[in-house]
Amino acid sequence: QVQLVESGGGVVQPGGSLRLSCAASGFTFSSYGMHWVRQAPGKGLEWVAFIRYDGSNKYYADSVKGRFTISRDNSKNTLYLQMNSLRAEDTAVYYCAKRGPGTLYYFDYWGQGTLVTVSS
């Protein structure tokens, strides 16, 4: 069965950096695009970033463009999110999500999330 396990969250000061990881299993990781989606405490979901199956193209929400970098290591079945210049408004649970098959424009499996808190 598909499993996505995020790690790397924690408390970081404003302006700091953090790298999140998402370990994937139960499917052919190298065949699917992957997303990061976040949810601020008590708020709704926000799409953050997408990477194609081979890492050739990456796309970002305006709110994180230039500060966050999505990447992947298909040899390790792992997705990453490098977060720099963190702000208080980046505080959220970060989920990795697998791109759905077929038309590909949806998220069919999600991890349990990892909490990032930006605070001094």
Partner 1 sequence: QSALTQPASVSGSPGQSITISCTGTSSDVGGYNYVSWYQQHPGKAPKLMIYDVSKRPSGVSNRFSGSKSGNTASLTISGLQAEDEADYYCCSYAGSSTWVFGGGTKLTVL
User: What is residue 14's three-state secondary structure?
Assistant: coil
Judged by CB under 8 A, the residue of 5, 8, 46, 74 near partner 1 is 46
Nearest 5°: phi and psi at 43?
-115, -175
Q: Which of the ranges 8-16, 20-28, 56-64, 71-79 carries the binding residues for partner 1, by CB under 8 A?
A: 56-64
Site for partner 1 in 100-119 (CB under 8 A): 100, 102-103, 105-113
CA atoms within 13 A on the CB side of 42: 1
Q: Looking at residues 6 to 45 of the shown chain, list those that interact with partner 1 (rule: CB under 8 A).
A: 35, 37, 44-45
Residues 26 and 37: their CA atoms lie apart, in Å, by 21
Q: Rounded to the nearest whole angstrom, what is the least distance from the CB of residue 21 to partner 1 in the complex?
A: 16
Contacting partner 1 (CB under 8 A), which of 95, 114, 116, 118?
95
Between CA 98 and CA 33 the distance in angstroms is 7
Of residues 57, 73, 76, 85, which one binds partner 1 by CB under 8 A? 57
* Amino acid type, 86: L
Rg (CA), the chain: 13
Sites of contact with partner 1 (CB under 8 A)? 35, 37, 44-47, 50, 57, 59, 61-63, 95, 100, 102-103, 105-113
